[in-house]
Amino acid sequence: MPSLSDEEELGEYQGDLEDLSTRELLVGTRMKMVYSLVLQMLGKSLFMNRQNNSLPQDYLEAHPSKKDELNVREP
């Protein structure tokens, strides 16, 4: 059974390390993209929810007693 010299063995390990670091870099980049997309979606949904949460002025004028129940602030 032929034995590998130290240089050949070191070369194999070096190749494994390069493959591993490239793979880790790709996974890290992919995870950053996923996290940024999730944060963008959350931000948009929160922003839209906040805009849609304001009550129409007509409803408040028709039901003035609801203003206190709904804890509406005057602009």
Structure tokens, 2: 């032929």
H or E segment at 33?
A: helix 6-52
Q: Look at residue 42 and tell me if it is in a domain.
A: yes
Q: Look at residue 74 and tell me if it is in a domain.
A: no
Q: Look at residue 28 and tell me if it is in a domain.
A: yes
Give 8-26 pLDDT, tens digit per residue.
666 666 666 677 777 788 8
Range of the domain at 64: 6-69
**Residue from 67, 46, 65 nearest 56 by CA:** 67
Q: Look at residue 1 and tell me if it is in a domain.
A: no
Instruction: Measure the CA–CA gap between 7 and 20, rounded to whole angstroms.
Output: 20
Domain count, the chain: 1
Give 42-69 pLDDT, tens digit per residue.
888 777 766 665 666 667 777 777 666 6
Q: Look at residue 75 and tell me if it is in a domain.
A: no
